[in-house]
Structure 1
Amino acid sequence: MPELYFHVRWPDGETQRCYSPSTVIEEYLTTGGVYDVGDFVERSRTALGIASDRVREKYGFACTGASDQLGQIEETAAAYAGLDGAQVAVEALRNADGSAR
């Protein structure tokens, strides 16, 4: 399966490199897209769930990398739960070799 990394900038300016075991993330996030934190978490949850299901269909087991990544996103997002208008920017979508999508 083609892995994909999505690089995001959180409301405090911190950046994070996130992992998806499938390119399905491109259907939910776009380079340059800016999302309210809650919307970003929901989009990530949906896309990473689908990605994990695709791994399960192909290999017979769910992708722990996808669930671990979602856990990290949810943990980071919790810090911004009380901030009105807090947004996450998607800075890049990259292939596993680092090339841009």
Structure 2
Amino acid sequence: MPEVIFHIRWPDGVEEQCYSPSTIIHQHLSAGQSYPLDDFVARARAGLIEASDRVAAKYGFACSSAMDQLARIETKARRYTQNGARVICLSLQ
């Protein structure tokens, strides 16, 4: 199953490399796009859950790496409380 590394920039300017076990994340995030924080988290959640489900369909078990990545995104997102906080998807590779 082809994996995707997506690079993001958090509202404080910190860049992070994230992992998806499936190219399905391309249907949820676009390179160069800026998302309101809540929208980014919702899109990442939907994409990573769908990616994990694809792994489960193919191999018979969910992808713990996708769920770990989602947990890291959700945890970090809670740090940003300012109005108008945005996350930029820098690239998907």
Gaps of 5+ in 2: none
Deviations along 1:5-63, one digit per CA (max 9) or x if unpaired, are 10000010000100000000000100001001100000000000000000000000000
| In structure 1, C-alpha distance between the alignment counterparts of 2:21 and 2:9, rounded to whole Å | 20
Q: Report the counterpart of residue 4 of structure 1 in structure 2.
A: 4
What residue identity is the alignment partner of 2:83? D
| In structure 2, C-alpha distance between the alignment counterparts of 1:51 and 1:61, rounded to whole Å | 12
Structure 2 counterparts to residues 33-48 of structure 1, below 5 A = 33-48=33-48
Identity of aligned residues (%): 53
Note if 1:87 corresponds to 2:50. Answer: no
| In structure 2, C-alpha distance between the alignment counterparts of 1:34 and 1:24, rounded to whole Å | 19
Alpha-carbon RMSD: 0.4
Q: TM-score, normalised by structure 2?
A: 0.99
The list of structure 1 runs, each at least 4 consecutive aligned residues, that deviate by more than 6 angstroms after superposition, is none
Q: Report the counterpart of residue 98 of structure 1 in structure 2.
A: none
Structure 2 counterparts to residues 62-73 of structure 1, below 5 A = 62-73=62-73
What residue identity is the alignment partner of 2:24? V
Q: TM-score, normalised by structure 1?
A: 0.91
Gaps of 5+ in 1: 95-101
